Amino acid sequence: MSAVPHASIRAPWLTSGPAARILGLLNANGEEARVVGGAVRNALLELPVGEIDIATTALPKEVVRRARAAHIKCVPTGIEHGTVTLVIDGKPFEVTTLREDVETFGRKAKVAFGRDWVRDAQRRDFTMNGLSLSSDGVIHDHVGGLDDIAARRVRFIGEPLRRITEDYLRVLRFFRIHAAYGEGEPDRDALLACIEAREGLRSLSAERMRMEMLKLVVARRAAPALTAMDDGGLLMRITGGVAYHGPFAKMIEAEHALGLQADAVRRLGALAVASTEDAKRLSQRLRLSNAETRRLDSMGHRWWRLSAMDEEVARRRIYRLGADCYLDRIMLAWARAGRDFDSKRWRELATLPRRWSAPEFPLKAADFLKRGLKEGPALGHVLTLAEDAWLAANFPCDAAALDAIADQAIARFRHDHRL
């Protein structure tokens, strides 16, 4: 449709560095290579460029041959679909031969390799992802992506429902890309197609949904995008429970107030977790990692008890939970604080781990062995009693206080067990 000169974008990686080296390697002997997808989009929007994907007319075997001849590490990550990963200085670059779909059924689509840049662009998902950038700095637009980038409008290439039925993950990708790069209301045709295709979400693996949801919740305009999903009956099919849009928006506000980076698990908890049962269900539906599951479970565990907490009690919570889990839980309680959200107290509780670090319990087994206790269950019981007393006394460290705590713990144990 149009071509724009290189001067219109800033792409220093196009003229030097690993990407430029790969383009130079593949732009020879009758073959052509271009940068495609998100790198072109982000360069136009003057946003950070992460992964740089490259498309080429060269067949996979030829890409491998040239890479090996240039002593570039080559990994056949998806060679049956035309994708080879080249690694330079530890950085991977996916290089994919131009393709057109022969049969489309999700990620297992049958493809034929080709040399037609227009056909290759037309098989991609969204117009703003359908641009390609030549090594000479020319942007090639065969799908109307430049106009949509200028308007911050996310549209499917071609007929939306057809694009979605090729791979139902594109429903989630639509809302994620809109949340990250779009402005205003979602494209109406795309939104209606996503709603019509919502039953297709059942066919997606939990792992793929997890990947998209963790990216979506930290996107720039995640809150309105998630509301649109919920209004369309889509979000319930992913989380399996009630969506808490108010706490989600407040979580974002609290992160900004503290200068924290967006945290996907914490935001997911604000959106969908009010109890440990919610955390368990969400973990199963999205196949979350063990670490992510533990965080959500901790967030959902009696977070409401933190609403009446003073700083002395908060220190004990930090000691018991650890600073990271404490922050997760206090942030959820803060996000759900309702009218009390603007209270200065929440900011003070949330920043306490920055101002105070939990000390190590100073009494050890040896302190009780020298007092006549023997190895065994009784020793562990007395240590627990002593630790509880130490916390209740607000972490004393002087020898006299510690001696008194140790002696009282032994006395209490003997009294309770009539020893």
- Domain borders along the chain are 2-151, 155-237, 240-358, 365-416
pLDDT at 30 over 80: yes
Q: How confident is the model at residue 110 (pLDDT cuts 50, 70, 90)?
A: low
pLDDT at 2 over 80: no
- Say yes or no: domain 155-237 is CATH 1.10.600.10: no
Query: Residue 101's pLDDT is what?
Result: 66
Contact between residue 170 and residue 204 where contact means Cβ atoms under 8 Å apart: no
The pLDDT > 70 percentage for the chain reads 95
Count CA within 13 A, CB hemisphere, residue 125. 22
Query: Residue 5's pLDDT is what?
Result: 42
pLDDT at 324 over 70: yes
pLDDT at 1 over 70: no
Q: Helix H segments across 128-244? A: 145-151, 160-166, 169-181, 188-196, 206-216, 222-231, 235-239
Give tens-digit pLDDT for 223-271: 999 999 999 999 999 999 999 999 999 999 999 999 999 999 999 999 9
Query: Residue 7's pLDDT is what?
Result: 36
**Neighbouring residues of 241: CB distance < 8 A, sequence distance ≥ 6:** 272, 278, 281, 282
Query: Average pLDDT of the chain?
Result: 92
When pLDDT is averaged across residues 126-131 and rounded to a whole number, the result is: 96
The domain 2-151: what is its CATH number? 3.30.460.10
pLDDT at 358 over 60: yes
When pLDDT is averaged across residues 28-48 and rounded to a whole number, the result is: 93
Q: Note the pTM of the prediction, 2 decimals.
A: 0.88
CA 41, chain centre distance (Å): 20
Question: Whole-angstrom Cα distance, residue 288 to residue 259?
Answer: 26
- Residue 76's region, left for phi above 0, alpha for psi from -120 to 50, else beta, is beta
pLDDT at 183 over 90: yes
Query: Residue 107's pLDDT is what?
Result: 54
Contact between residue 79 and residue 67 where contact means Cβ atoms under 8 Å apart: no
Query: Residue 12's pLDDT is what?
Result: 87
CA distances from 212 to 169, 216, 388 (A): 8, 6, 43
**Bridge pairing between strands 99-103 and 73-78:** unpaired
Helix H or strand E encompassing 385 = helix 377-392
C-alpha torsion sign, points 256, 257, 259, 262 = negative
Query: Residue 109's pLDDT is what?
Result: 58
Residue 78 or residue 393, greater confidence = 393
pLDDT at 4 over 50: no
Cα(first)–Cα(last) distance of the chain, in Å? Answer: 90
Query: Residue 416's pLDDT is what?
Result: 80
